[in-house]
Structure 1
Amino acid sequence: MERFDLRGLLYRKNRLLNNITSSVYQLRMQLSQCIICHGSSDVHPQICTYCLANLPFFSIEKVGGDLLNWPAMNNLFKKRHFDRLISVTPYAWPMSHWINQFKYQRRHDYASLLGFVLQYQWHRANEELYDCSDIVISVPTHQRKWQLRGFNQAHLLAEAFSKYHQISYQDNLLRRVKYEQAQVGQSGTQRRKSVAGNFALSDRDQIAGKKVLLIDDVITTGATINEISRLLKSNYVKNVTVLTLCVSIDKC
């Protein structure tokens, strides 16, 4: 009687699935076009190499992979609990347009593009200083706001970013316990008062002694990420790296 080769069958199945996935991605690339120049996309279905290179990136490699080494940025966040800051661009076109489309026009297809540019800047920041963060978390939204809006943009960004890395994304580790009105138009002092005591951890033991990567879309005053970082540090997190799409410098 011929012996049934289960291991070989599973191997052939996985190879077939990988080939199909690769073929679908290649087809998508061929049918896609860059959303800036409308030319052929080659590095991501929504952007080409030329337009990616011409985004107004922060020169993260010139400040040792940490924007806090830039004196102007360091002065904006003097009283901080996070250890490192990586951001893609200032809040300017085209990033500002993409974020507005993503958050307010429900263009969830932009999550893939924004996650891609996040990981692109992450790699640039870590070319010389490798950051082996243990856990990825995102800035949570209150359950009521999630129900009203239908999504949390920071969560979608973290999911998209995590597809490029082996770092574990813990989407239920941090929660927002107070519901507050939108912070748009508030001063830094008002925002800091608004977010104080606003977050809680679901499992303290899971983060103790760990290096945490905290993802959000835009930093304005830094009040939210600083409050979360304070909570993390008070629960014995080793260090906190903040990764965002933009820093709205003129509003800090």
Structure 2
Amino acid sequence: MFTSVRTLLFPDYCTACEIPLRSGEKFLCTSCRHQVPETNLHLYNDATIKKVFYGRLNLQLATSLFYFEKKGPIQKLMHGLKYKGKEHIGQVLGEWLGTSLATLPEYKKIDVVIPVPLHPKKMKKRGYNQVSAFAKALSTHLNAQYNDTVLVKSKNTQTQVFKGRFTRSDEVLNAFSITETQRLAGKHILLVDDIITTGATIEACGIELLKIPKITLSIATMAIAR
């Protein structure tokens, strides 16, 4: 009763089309939710993302929840998550993808989920890592360990979205490091980020993680640019 009255007096709005949300809707109205371009890459064992990293990273599994399109609903979700303090969007998207991944035997073999880290200066400014809630939800659904300490960002870089591949590669080169190499030896690691554009950030992180002996590396993201 109270929730219904509150919703009537102080409605939340759809992140994509900005109409008031109805009871039971979160972040996206039903209409926009049906329009978001899910990839379902993991359901079909699709190699689209692996091809992005061919010759750059040896990946066991790779998936993304949505296709990213400029001015589409996913761009608005990402903007709200990163720049408008809507950290909880990450958890919702993690629940969305995690529920699906948990049905697949190959993803149940993942031991550790690691988010791409923020530099401490950016973390202080934003107040949270936009990938953390997403990664935590995935780890819960996969019954895997969550680890946000082994991989760190040691160089503060500018935002990388939509930069050219080579410019972006130069920006993130040696921007990440690992704190130790033994505790996760032999584990199947799922590296998690928000969006794949050129893949340079994940590549830089993956190269560092592969310094850990005998790991298996997979990736999952909220979105991938078409």
Asked if Structure 1 and Structure 2 have the same fold, meaning a TM-score greater than 0.5 normalized by the shorter chain, the answer is yes
Q: Does the C-alpha gap of structure 1 residues 159 and 190 become closer, same or farther in structure 2, counting only changes over 3 Å? A: same
How much has 1:95 moved relative to structure 2?
Answer: 2.1
Match of 1:22 in 2: none
How much has 1:172 moved relative to structure 2?
Answer: 1.1
Aligned residue identity for 2:187: K
Q: What secondary structure, in the 3-state scheme, does the structure 2 residue paired with 1:194 have?
A: helix
Match of 2:173 in 1: 196
The question of 1:210 aligning with 2:191 is answered: no
| Match 1:119 to one of 81, 84, 98 | 98
- Aligned mates of 2:153, 2:74 — CA distance in 1: 26
How much has 1:54 moved relative to structure 2?
Answer: 5.4
CA contact (8 A) 1:28 1:45 kept: no
Match of 1:63 in 2: 44
Aligned residue identity for 2:109: C
- Aligned mates of 1:28, 1:113 — CA distance in 2: 20
Match of 1:168 in 2: 145
**Is there any run of 5+ residues in structure 2 with no aligned partner, and where?**
none
Q: What secondary structure, in the 3-state scheme, does the structure 2 residue paired with 1:58 have?
A: coil
Deviations 1:188-216 (A, max 9, x none): 11111222222111221112111001111
CA contact (8 A) 2:112 2:139 kept: no
Deviations 1:221-251 (A, max 9, x none): 10111111112223224211111010012xx
Match of 2:54 in 1: 78
- Aligned mates of 2:56, 2:3 — CA distance in 1: 43
- Aligned mates of 1:128, 1:163 — CA distance in 2: 15
Aligned residue identity for 2:92: L
| Match 1:101 to one of 80, 89, 107 | 80
Q: Does the C-alpha gap of structure 1 residues 162 and 34 become closer, same or farther in structure 2, counting only changes over 3 Å? A: farther
How much has 1:94 moved relative to structure 2?
Answer: 2.3
CA contact (8 A) 1:81 1:233 kept: no
- Aligned mates of 1:177, 1:145 — CA distance in 2: 11
Deviations 1:5-39 (A, max 9, x none): xxxxxxxxxxxxxxxxxxxxxx979x878947834
- Aligned mates of 1:158, 1:221 — CA distance in 2: 21
> Which moved further from structure 2: 200-209 or 177-186?
177-186
**TM-score between both structures, scaled by the size of structure 1:** 0.72
Q: Does the C-alpha gap of structure 1 residues 148 and 82 become closer, same or farther in structure 2, counting only changes over 3 Å? A: farther
Identity of aligned residues (%): 26
Deviations 1:103-150 (A, max 9, x none): 111122323322222313424xx5354441111110001111111222
Aligned residue identity for 1:241: S
1:134-153 matched pairs, under 5 angstroms: 134-153=111-130
CA contact (8 A) 2:193 2:221 kept: yes
The question of 1:238 aligning with 2:215 is answered: yes
CA contact (8 A) 1:212 1:239 kept: yes
Q: Does the C-alpha gap of structure 1 residues 127 and 62 become closer, same or farther in structure 2, counting only changes over 3 Å? A: closer
Q: What secondary structure, in the 3-state scheme, does the structure 2 residue paired with 1:148 have?
A: helix
Deviations 1:29-84 (A, max 9, x none): 9x87894783443xx855688875653211325632xx4x24xx454332221412
Deviations 1:167-206 (A, max 9, x none): 1101111111112222244211111122222211122111
- Aligned mates of 2:58, 2:23 — CA distance in 1: 40
Q: Which has the larger radius of gyration?
A: 1
Q: How many residues align?
A: 214
Match of 1:10 in 2: none
**TM-score between both structures, scaled by the size of structure 2:** 0.79
